[in-house]
Amino acid sequence: LTVVFTGEGAPAGNYGYTSSGYSVYEEENDRLTESLRTKVSAIKSLSIEIGTEVKNQNKMLSEMENDFDSTGGLLGATMGRLRTLSRGSQTKLLFYMMLFSLFVFFVIYWIIKLR
User: What tens digit of pLDDT does each residue of 37-52 get?
Assistant: 999 999 999 999 999 9
pLDDT band at 23 (very low <50, low <70, confident <90, very high): confident
In this structure, is residue 20 part of a structural domain? no
Q: Is the pLDDT assigned to residue 85 strictly greater than 90? A: no
Torsion of the alpha carbons at 97, 102, 105 and 109, rounded to the nearest 10: -170
Q: Average model confidence (pLDDT) for the chain? A: 82
C-beta separation of 4 from 11 below 8 A:
yes
Q: What is the pTM of this model?
A: 0.46
In this structure, is residue 21 part of a structural domain? no
Number of domains in the chain: 1
Q: For residues 32 and 40, what is the distance between their CA atoms, to the nearest angstrom?
A: 12
In this structure, is residue 112 part of a structural domain? no
Amino acid (one-letter) located at 67 = D
Q: Which residues lie closer than 8 Å to 17 by C-beta, 6 or more apart?
A: 10
In this structure, is residue 101 part of a structural domain? no
In this structure, is residue 99 part of a structural domain? no
Q: For residues 93 and 50, what is the distance between their CA atoms, to the nearest angstrom?
A: 60
Span 103-114, average pLDDT: 91
Domain with 60 in it: 28-88
